[in-house]
Amino acid sequence: MSMNLNIGVIKGDGIGPEIVTEAMKVLDKAAEKYGHACKYTQLLLGGASIDVHGIPLTDETVEQAKACDAVLMGSIGGDAKTSPWYQLEPSKRPEAGLLKIRKELNLFANLRPAILYDELKGACPLKEEITEGGFDLMIMRELTGGLYFGERRTEEIDGVLTAFDSLTYNEIRRIAKRAFDIAMKRGRKVTSVDKANVLDSSRLWRKIVEEVAKDYPEVALEHMLVDNCAMQLVKDPKQFDVVLTENMFGDILSDEASMVTGSIGMLASTSLNETKFGLYEPSGGSAPDIAGKGIANPIATILSAAMMLRFSFDLDQEADAIEAAVAQVLKEGYRTIDIMSEGKTQV
């Protein structure tokens, strides 16, 4: 059945416009092949919004995004040492717009698949015996709680910045439920990552995850401390299926997972709310040092577009086709400089 896909597009900063443009070409091709139509609404966020509006995210952009079925986004931000955006106070810098739009759209679940393609084993820094057969894991990161969103205050007496961890019962329960739902469609295993030997919030996390697990008897649950998980990701990544964790831990672990796939330029991601709406983006940064050179890796953004078709539009066949096309491109030897050899963003 043909569909009209109402997609917001945030091209972003640095290499963002280049890689998003390539992903849109792939979406248009998939839509043409399967009888759909893509309607794009161009939105501004981050540095691009600062240049036009003076702030990283406007209320109008938020409302426009809410009117879309999903949003495809490029990388946000610039060089913190040289960009004038970083002369602004923190609340007006590019990344503040990203945090705000996640909050305004109630995006609580960040999904970052980490897949090692057989053709890219040579780009993986791990030993060959570890990478033999590849791996396919999904990191699920809670987005609305933890230290990133906890209370902050500076004590005037000694100038010490104090931050408070903040996680609620509902925040933990909903991300846990989403993790188990996704595990049911994958390998039926959830590794819940915390720091329960130290943090009260982690002990609450573990308790609620165990409550949710009772509703999914088909899914195996294990707990792992975050420092051990960081080691296990490089020792034996094949052991993982769905890795469930809180905001800051997930931020760090997902970047680590990206590097064992060969390049962060391969890592897609999405942030979902409680409906089918999602914000889809590559996990890598804006790489301003290579912007405009036509050498940025578009694969993570293309795979993010495939995730969009799968999770927001339930178009599994179309998503499978894009993922298969990416695998075929890699088999044919096409690369960009982040994965072994010289190459171009466009073929």
Type of residue numbered 234? V
The SS3 assignment for 160 reads: strand
List the one residue out of 293, 283, 297 whose CA is nearest residue 253. Answer: 283
Catalytic positions are 148, 195, 227, 251, 255
Instruction: Tell me the longest C-alpha to C-alpha distance in the chain.
Output: 65
C-alpha to C-alpha distance for 303 and 22, rounded to whole angstroms:
11
Give me the sign of the Cα torsion angle 41, 46, 48, 54: positive
Compute how many other C-beta atoms are within 10 angstroms of the C-beta atom of residue 334.
16
Dihedrals phi, psi of 4, to nearest 5 degrees: -100, 115
> Strands, DSSP E only, in 202-327?
220-225, 242-245, 268-272, 278-282
Would you state the torsion angle of the CA atoms of residues 62, 64, 69, 72, taken in this order, to the nearest 10 degrees? -70
> Strands, DSSP E only, in the chain?
4-10, 37-43, 70-73, 109-116, 135-142, 152-155, 160-163, 189-194, 220-225, 242-245, 268-272, 278-282
C-alpha to C-alpha distance for 227 and 76, rounded to whole angstroms:
29
List the one residue out of 315, 306, 307, 261 whose CA is nearest residue 284. Answer: 261
C-alpha to C-alpha distance for 117 and 123, rounded to whole angstroms:
10
> CA triplet 219, 224, 230: central angle to 5 degrees?
120
Please check whether residue 241 is in contact with residue 186, taking contact to mean a CB–CB distance below 8 angstroms: yes
